[in-house]
Amino acid sequence: MDTQQTPQQNGHIDLSKLDVRQASLAAIGAAAAKAKIMAQKEEREIQKNVVGIIEKQLRKIELKMKHFEELEKVLEKEKNVYVEEREKLRKERMDLRSQKVSQDAFMQ
């Protein structure tokens, strides 16, 4: 004879075993649904944080670009000053050579 009990013995259903099984399945299903909702919420939070980090990084890059643009303007102005000074020196040198040639011609 089989010693294991089945849900149905002598035409009667063992409700306690079915109830426990259904309750267990319901609890597992509810836990899975809650876990899924929590995972989705956490995923949204992670995405929100990533977007925030990206926005901050972009802002930092924009500030650095602005700084470099300002620095570039300053350097361009300095370069123009140096180019003008070099041109003045070149002109002075040519004037001095011209004066020297005039003096040498006058002395001879």
User: 45-85 pLDDT, tens per residue?
Assistant: 999 999 999 999 999 999 999 999 999 999 999 999 999 99
Q: Where do runs of H (alpha helix) occur along 1-108? A: 15-107
CB of 7 within 8 A of CB of 13?
A: yes
pLDDT band at 1 (very low <50, low <70, confident <90, very high): very low
pLDDT at 3 over 90: no
**Chain position carrying tokens 């040519």:** 94
C-alpha 95/C-alpha 89 separation (Å) is 10
Domain boundaries, the chain: 14-107
User: 19-39 pLDDT, tens per residue?
Assistant: 888 999 999 999 999 999 999
